[in-house]
Structure 1
Amino acid sequence: MKHIRNFCIIAHIDHGKSTLADRLLDYTGSVTEREKKEQLLDSMDLERERGITIKSHAIQMEYTYKGEQYILNLIDTPGHVDFSYEVSRSIAACEGALLIVDAAQSIQAQTISNLYLALENDLEIIPVLNKVDLPSANPEEVTDDIVDLLGCKPEDVIHASGKTGFGVDNILAAIIERIPAPTGNPDEPLQALIFDSVYNPFRGVETYFRVLNGTIKKGQNIKFIATGKTYFADEIGTLKLKQFPRQEIKAGDVGYVITGIKEAKEVKVGDTLTDAKNPTTNVIEGFEDVKPMVFAGIYPVDTEDYEELRASMEKLQLNDASLVFTPESSAALGFGFRCGFLGMLHMEIIQERLEREFDMTVITTVPNVSYHAFTKKYPETPIIVNNPSDLPDPSGLDRVEEPYIKATIITKADFVGNVMSLCIEKRGMITNQTYLTTERVEMTFDMPLAEIVFDFYDRLKTVSKGYASFDYHPIGMKPSKLVRVDILLNSQPVDALSALIHADNAHSIGKKMCEKLKELIPRQQFDIPIQAAIGAKIIARETIKALRKDVTAKCYGGDISRKRKLLEKQKKGKKRMRQVGNVEIPQQAFMAVLKLND
C-alpha cells in the first residue's frame, strides 16, 4: 500500500487541469503515441466542443521514482461551479490534491471554494503554478497570493506548464513525497466507497469505487449497504485508459466492478460496498447531499416517449448524481419530470446530453422553485405550488409564502458595491459583512430562492469579473406578494411559459417576455398577438405581423376601389385563418425566456 498515491486535480475553470493531466499521462508513459490527443480524459463530445470538463475522470498511472515502482490514481475534476458536486465526490476518494493556479489569472473564486472542500476532507494540498510560459504570466505575484492563501512556503509552489511539459517531473516527485499513502487494513472486512458509475448498454452498470479497508476479489458476493442488495462481482479491475481486469484489488486502490446490474436505481453514489458474507459495520460518512439551485420541467416532445425519457434520465443520473427528478404533469405538455439542477449551465448540459446520448428531444419549461399557497377557506394547510398552474384562484387566496435562503458571497473588496446592488435588486436584505483579509469580503444576505434561480449566478460572476463564490442554505418560508403572469399566444394561454413573479416586477418581466417571444416565434399567415396577463388583466402586448402575399400586384393604375376590394377579401381570409390557426413555439423560445437580462 505504501506505493499507492490517490490524488485529484482542482482549479478554477480554464486554469489548465486537463492539459496538465495529459502531460502527466505522457510523462508516466500511460498513453501510447497512437492514443495521444488534447484533453485526453474529456471523453464526451460536449466536453471537447466547449473546452470544459463536465465529468470527473479516474485513471491509473505507473511511475518509477528512485528505483521504486509507484501506482498513481489520478482523478481530473471539473472547474465550473455548476459541477462542484463532482469535485466533492472526487475529493472523498483521495488523500491529496493538486491545486492548480493560472500564472496569468491568479486565484479565483472556484479555486478558493474547491480548496476549502479539500481542506475539510484533510487532503494534502500541492500548489502548482501553471502556464508560467505565457508572456502575460506573473509568477512572483501569484506565488505570493498562493502563500497568503495556503500559509505554505514560496518554495513549496511548483512552477509548471501544461503546454510545454515543464515542471511535470517535479509535480510527480511532490505527489510521491508529500501525499500520504492510503491507510487501511487489507485483512479487515471489505469497505469501499462508490464515487461514480456509468451505464454500459451491453454490460449494465459499471461502478467505480475506492477500497478503504479489506480486499475485493473477482467472483466474490458483494453487498450495497444503501439498497441492501447482494450481487456477484463478474469482473473487477483498474481504470487505465481502457479497463484492465484484475483478480483482486486491495485496500487503498481505486477500481471498477461490473455486476450485471441493469436497474439504474440500484446504484447510489456515495454508498458503501462490502462483503455479503462478512459485512463491515461502519458505513462511510462525509458525503454531502446535493443542493439543486434551479428547478425546471423536462417533457418529451411526444407523450408516448415518457417511459423512454424516464429510462434515459435514470441512466444519466448514474453518470451525473447531482441530477434530481420527480414525475409531474402539465395541461399543455402532458407527462414529464420536474428536475433539480445545480445551475443554468448544468441544465443546458443535461438537455444536450439527453439529445445526444439518448436521442430524446425534450422541451424544458421556465425554471422556478416550490411555493406554499394558503386559501381563505383553509388558512392553516399549505397547498404546495410546484407549477404556476397549481396556484389557486386569486379570489380565494389568503397568502403565498416563498422559500428564503441565507446566501454567503465571498468577493474582492473592489466589487462590494456591485454585488450589493445586484442582491438588493434581487430583493435581498444584507445581514452581515466581514472582511476576511484587506482584499476579501464575506457578505451574508437573506433573499428569496426564486430570485437566484434565473440568472443570479451568471450575473454575480459578471459584476465581480468571475471573482465571487456563492453558497447558500435554506432558512424557511416567508409570506410574499406573488402573482401569476400568464402568456397568451393568439388568445390561448401557454402554461409552460407561465411564471410566478413578485408583484413589483410583474409588469417589466411580462413586457420583456413578450418582446423576446416576438423575436423568436416565426411569422405566420396571420397576425399573432402575444400578451402577458395577470388573471384577466392584460399588462403587456406585442404583435407579430402577418406574412402577406401582395394581392394588389396585378392592379396597376385604375380605380382604388379594385385594390380595396382585394385587400378586404385578404383581410377576411386572415381573420378566418386566425380563428383556426395554431402557433408552434420553437424550443429556443422556452430557453430564451430564462435569459431575459442578456
Structure 2
Amino acid sequence: MGHVSFLCKLRSPYVNNAEKYLRKIRYILSELELVRSLKTSPCLSTTEDAAKDCPVSRIRNFSIIAHVDHGKSTLADRLLEITGAIGHDSGNQVLDKLQVEKERGITVKAQTASLNYHYVGDRKIPQGQYLLNLIDTPGHVDFSGEVSRSLLACQGALLIVDANKGVQAQTAANYRLAITKGLTIIPVINKIDLKNADPERVYGQLKTLFDIDKNSVLKVSAKHGDGVEDVLKAIVKRIPSPPARLREPFRGLLFDSWFDRHRGAVLLLYIHDGSLSVGDQITSVNSGRSYEVKSLGMLRPQEEAHQTLSAGQVGYMTCNMRSPSEVCIGDTFHKKDEAVEQLPDLKKATPLVFAGIYPNDQSQYLALRSALEKLVLNDSTVSMVPDSSPALGQGWRLGFLGLLHMEVFGQRLEQEYGAEPVITAPSVTYKAKIMGAKNIKKYGKDEISFSNPTHFPDVQIISELYEPIVTATIITPDVYMGSIISLCVDRRGVQISSVNIDDERVMLQFSMPLNEIIVDFHDLIKSVSSGYASFDYETSGYAPSKLVKVNILLNGNIVEELSTICHVSKSARVGYQLCTKLKDLIPRQLFQVAVQASVGSKVVARENIKALRKDVTAKCYGGDISRKMKLLKRQAEGKKKMRMIGNIEVPKHTFISVLKR
C-alpha cells in the first residue's frame, strides 16, 4: 500500500479526479500482482521458458466464430490487451493485417495469437499461468474454408452474437461447423452497450435455434472491455485442454501457410504429440519429402522465436521448403525414420465459382504466375489450373468459394504483388451425361464436368445436363418476407422451410441453382430488406436442368470466346444483354455488322452496328440526279461485296470488357 499512498500524494491537487486516478492505481496494482504471479506460477517467467515448460493441462486452443460485423476482431483486441500481448494504444483490429481487410472492414484471413493469461478464480481449476492459443476467423460465407481449417487446431470456440442484430445466417452455419467437429461452444452476446441492444431477445433465439442454456451465455461489450475478463475465465474453465501426449513421437498438423521472400514457405503447425526443435529432420506424410527445421516460434501476435515447440502448442515453422507446390494444407509431419499414424486430414474445400485470370500482356505471364503461386500458398482454398484463350492468350482457370472470395483474391494480387490481371466473369461447374458407346470411349467416361462455355459438349451426344444446387439460408424480419420470397422464386428457387425465430424474425430455406446467386443475389437481398436480412448457403449436390449454350455471331460467324451458359428460360434475356453490350463496344466497320445471339440454330436476340458511311456525293454540286444515283449505287455494291468477304477484327479490349466482370 506504500505505492498507493505515494501516488495519492502525487495526485493530491486533483481531488476532483479521485475516481479516475483510483482506477489507475488499481491497474498498477494488478500489473504488480501479475508480475508476482509470473514468478511463482508453474510456468517460468520468460515467455520462451513458459511456452516450453507449460504443461498440456494448462493449454487452451480456441477460435472466435461469428457472422460478419458482430465484433470478432474487436473482442480479439481486448483479449490481446488484457493478457498483455499488445498495448492499450495499439489500434483497432490488430489481427486484421491485410490492406484489403482494413479497406473493407472485414476479416478475410484467419490469424493466430498465443497469449499468456494468469487465471485467478474457481478453486476447482488450478490457478496460475495458462497458454491460450487464439485463432480469429472470418465471418463471411466465402471464407468458410478459413474457419474449417482453423477449427482443426482447436478444442473450443467463442460464438459471438450481436446484441442488436441477433442470430444471423452465418452464425448458424459456423455453429453447425463447430459442433460437427466436436468443439466446446461458449456463446457470447456482444455489443450490449448499444442503445438498441436486446440481450433477452438474443437469448430466445439461441435457445430456439441451438438449444443453448441461458446460464451458459456471457454478455460483453468488446468495444469498452466490459465482461471480457469473464470470457477469459470461461475459456480456462469450460474449454478442455488439447488431447496431446508429450512423450509420444512427434506429430504436427499443418493448417495454414504463407510465403516470405527471404525464408520461403512459412508453415503454421499444431503440435499434436511430442515436441519439435530447431535442427530436427522432419518428413511430410503427403509427399514423403524430408526437411530440416530452420526456425520455430509462436505468434504473440508478432513472431517470437523459440527453440522448441511441445505437444498442444500452436506455432510457425520454416524449413528448406522453397516451392509453394510442396505445401499441402492438412498434411501431417513427423520426425524422419519414425513411423506414426497420419492425423485426420482436412477435407479440401470444393470451389464453387470459377474465373479465368490472364495477364494484360503476355510478357507479364511469368511474373503473374509467380504471384499466383505465392498467393495460393496463403489461400489454399483456391484451385488453379492452366488455361488458354484465343482472345486473351495464356492464363489460368481459378476456382473460388464465392464472388467476394474472387474479388478479394484479385485485390490482394494487385496490392501485395503489383499485378494487374484480367479476371473474366465468374461461372460454375456443370456436368453432362454422355450417351453412346463411341462417345463414352472418346471421353473416357460417361459423365464430364466443365466450367468454361467453350468446352460445352455437342447437344447431340448429351442425354442430360446437371447444374450445382445450394441450400440457401436467409434470416430476415418478417415484413420483408414477401419481397425475399419473390426474389428467390425469380431466381428459380424452391422453398424448403420457414421457421419463426421470434416474434419479428423468420428463417427461410430455399433450394437454388448456384449460377443464379453468385453475381448479384447477395446485394439484391440486402437491397429488398433495407440491409436487415442475412444470407448464407451450403452446397447440396447437382440436379438435372435445361441448360443451353448461348452463342454470339458476328455477321453469321460464331465467336466462341463470347459464348455463355444459362437456363433455357433466360436465354433470350442473356442474349439481348450481350448483344446490346457488344453493339456499344465493337468498332464500326465500313459495312453493317449484325450481332446475333443464338441457341442452336435459333436466333434469340439481334442488334445491328451501322456502317461508317462516306459521303460520295459531296463533290457533286448540281447537274443531273442520275450522277448521284450512280455513285450511291456503286457504293452500295461495294459495301455488299465487302460484307461478304470482310473480316471483323474484334479488339482485345472488347473481349476484356465483355468477359471481365
TM-score class, shorter-chain normalisation, is 0.7 to 0.9
Amino acid at match of 2:376: Q
1:20 maps to 75
Residue 244 in structure 1 maps to residue 304 in structure 2: yes
1:136 maps to 196
Residues 89, 185 of structure 1: alpha-carbon distance in 2 compared, 3 angstrom cutoff: same
2:659 maps to 590
How big is the shift at 1:64? Answer: 1.8
Residue 277 in structure 1 maps to residue 337 in structure 2: yes
Q: What is the rounded CA distance, in whole Å, between the counterparts of 1:13 and 1:140 in structure 2?
A: 21
- The question of whether the paired residues in 1 share the 8 Å contact of 2:360 and 2:420 is answered with yes
How big is the shift at 1:504? Answer: 2.5
- The question of whether the paired residues in 1 share the 8 Å contact of 2:352 and 2:400 is answered with yes
- The question of whether the paired residues in 2 share the 8 Å contact of 1:373 and 1:383 is answered with yes
Q: What is the rounded CA distance, in whole Å, between the counterparts of 2:452 and 2:209 in structure 1?
A: 44
Q: What is the rounded CA distance, in whole Å, between the counterparts of 1:375 and 1:454 in structure 2?
A: 33
Q: How does 1:503-582 map to 2 (within 5 A)?
A: 503-516=568-581, 521=585, 530-535=595-600, 537-542=602-607, 582=650
Amino acid at match of 1:13: V
How big is the shift at 1:404? Answer: 4.9
Aligned counterpart in structure 2 of residue 59 of structure 1, from 74, 90, 113:
113
- The question of whether the paired residues in 1 share the 8 Å contact of 2:60 and 2:132 is answered with yes
- The question of whether the paired residues in 2 share the 8 Å contact of 1:219 and 1:234 is answered with yes
- The question of whether the paired residues in 2 share the 8 Å contact of 1:375 and 1:392 is answered with no
Q: What is the rounded CA distance, in whole Å, between the counterparts of 1:18 and 1:546 in structure 2?
A: 59
Deviations 1:370-401 (A, max 9, x none): 3326477945455654422233556x555452
Deviations 1:116-155 (A, max 9, x none): 1111122111111111111111122112322444434323
Larger CA deviation: 261-270 vs 465-474: 465-474
Q: What is the rounded CA distance, in whole Å, between the counterparts of 2:220 and 2:448 in structure 1?
A: 57
User: Match of 2:291, SS?
Assistant: strand
Residue 471 in structure 1 maps to residue 504 in structure 2: no
Q: What is the rounded CA distance, in whole Å, between the counterparts of 1:41 and 1:548 in structure 2?
A: 62
Residue 322 in structure 1 maps to residue 375 in structure 2: no
1:190 maps to 250
2:86 maps to 31
How big is the shift at 1:419? Answer: 6.3
Q: What is the rounded CA distance, in whole Å, between the counterparts of 2:567 and 2:232 in structure 1?
A: 55
User: Match of 1:136, SS?
Assistant: coil
1:230 maps to 290
How big is the shift at 1:580? Answer: 7.0
Aligned counterpart in structure 2 of residue 92 of structure 1, from 140, 152, 164:
152
2:419 maps to 360
2:12 maps to none
How big is the shift at 1:330? Answer: 2.2
How big is the shift at 1:326? Answer: 1.7
2:100 maps to 46
Amino acid at match of 1:160: V
- The question of whether the paired residues in 1 share the 8 Å contact of 2:331 and 2:345 is answered with no
- The question of whether the paired residues in 2 share the 8 Å contact of 1:8 and 1:91 is answered with yes
Q: How does 1:432-443 map to 2 (within 5 A)?
A: 433=497, 443=509
Q: What is the rounded CA distance, in whole Å, between the counterparts of 1:289 and 1:436 in structure 2?
A: 34
User: Match of 2:186, SS?
Assistant: strand
Could you tell me which runs of 5 or more consecutive residues in structure 1 were left unpaired when the two chains were aligned: 551-557, 593-598
Q: What is the rounded CA distance, in whole Å, between the counterparts of 2:95 and 2:415 in structure 1?
A: 19
Larger CA deviation: 371-380 vs 163-172: 371-380
Q: What is the rounded CA distance, in whole Å, between the counterparts of 2:612 and 2:112 in structure 1?
A: 56
Amino acid at match of 1:361: E
Amino acid at match of 1:43: K
- The question of whether the paired residues in 1 share the 8 Å contact of 2:583 and 2:609 is answered with yes
Q: What is the rounded CA distance, in whole Å, between the counterparts of 2:313 and 2:608 in structure 1?
A: 64
- The question of whether the paired residues in 1 share the 8 Å contact of 2:476 and 2:533 is answered with no
TM-score calculated relative to the size of structure 1: 0.84
1:164 maps to 224
Between structure 1 and structure 2, the one with the greater Rg is 2
Residue 2 in structure 1 maps to residue 57 in structure 2: yes
How big is the shift at 1:272? Answer: 1.1
Q: Judging by fraction of residues, say which structure has more helix.
A: 2
- The question of whether the paired residues in 2 share the 8 Å contact of 1:369 and 1:449 is answered with no
Deviations 1:328-385 (A, max 9, x none): 2222222222221111111111122222222332222331323326477945455654
Larger CA deviation: 46-55 vs 64-73: 64-73
Residues 463, 497 of structure 1: alpha-carbon distance in 2 compared, 3 angstrom cutoff: farther
- The question of whether the paired residues in 1 share the 8 Å contact of 2:190 and 2:219 is answered with yes
Residues 261, 548 of structure 1: alpha-carbon distance in 2 compared, 3 angstrom cutoff: farther
User: Match of 1:233, SS?
Assistant: strand
Deviations 1:472-531 (A, max 9, x none): 2325x74x5433212356877554431122322210111133345567x49879898654
Residues 529, 21 of structure 1: alpha-carbon distance in 2 compared, 3 angstrom cutoff: farther
User: Match of 1:504, SS?
Assistant: helix
2:406 maps to 347
Aligned counterpart in structure 2 of residue 220 of structure 1, from 280, 294, 308:
280
Q: What is the rounded CA distance, in whole Å, between the counterparts of 1:423 and 1:146 in structure 2?
A: 26
- The question of whether the paired residues in 2 share the 8 Å contact of 1:369 and 1:453 is answered with no
Q: What is the rounded CA distance, in whole Å, between the counterparts of 1:360 and 1:235 in structure 2?
A: 31
Q: What is the rounded CA distance, in whole Å, between the counterparts of 1:265 and 1:130 in structure 2?
A: 41
Deviations 1:390-437 (A, max 9, x none): 33556x55545224547464757958766665555444566x658698
- The question of whether the paired residues in 2 share the 8 Å contact of 1:400 and 1:482 is answered with no
Q: What is the rounded CA distance, in whole Å, between the counterparts of 2:143 and 2:409 in structure 1?
A: 12
Deviations 1:451-474 (A, max 9, x none): 455555665676785345422232
Q: What is the rounded CA distance, in whole Å, between the counterparts of 1:588 and 1:407 in structure 2?
A: 32
Compute the RMSD of aligned alpha carbons: 3.8
- The question of whether the paired residues in 2 share the 8 Å contact of 1:379 and 1:398 is answered with no
Larger CA deviation: 149-158 vs 134-143: 149-158
Amino acid at match of 2:537: F
1:555 maps to none
Amino acid at match of 2:240: P
1:289 maps to 348
TM-score calculated relative to the size of structure 2: 0.77
Q: What is the rounded CA distance, in whole Å, between the counterparts of 1:203 and 1:450 in structure 2?
A: 41
Aligned counterpart in structure 1 of residue 466 of structure 2, from 402, 412, 417:
402
Larger CA deviation: 313-322 vs 415-424: 415-424
1:211 maps to 271
User: Match of 1:54, SS?
Assistant: coil
Residues 547, 252 of structure 1: alpha-carbon distance in 2 compared, 3 angstrom cutoff: farther
- The question of whether the paired residues in 2 share the 8 Å contact of 1:523 and 1:545 is answered with no
Identical aligned residues as a percent? 39
- The question of whether the paired residues in 2 share the 8 Å contact of 1:128 and 1:160 is answered with yes
How big is the shift at 1:17? Answer: 0.6
Larger CA deviation: 406-415 vs 85-94: 406-415
Q: What is the rounded CA distance, in whole Å, between the counterparts of 1:528 and 1:344 in structure 2?
A: 35
Q: What is the rounded CA distance, in whole Å, between the counterparts of 1:258 and 1:196 in structure 2?
A: 12
Amino acid at match of 1:241: P
Deviations 1:19-52 (A, max 9, x none): 1111111222211356x12211111100110001
How big is the shift at 1:244? Answer: 0.8
- The question of whether the paired residues in 2 share the 8 Å contact of 1:195 and 1:208 is answered with yes
Residues 147, 530 of structure 1: alpha-carbon distance in 2 compared, 3 angstrom cutoff: same
Residues 375, 103 of structure 1: alpha-carbon distance in 2 compared, 3 angstrom cutoff: same
Q: What is the rounded CA distance, in whole Å, between the counterparts of 1:204 and 1:332 in structure 2?
A: 35
Residues 157, 507 of structure 1: alpha-carbon distance in 2 compared, 3 angstrom cutoff: same
User: Match of 1:505, SS?
Assistant: helix
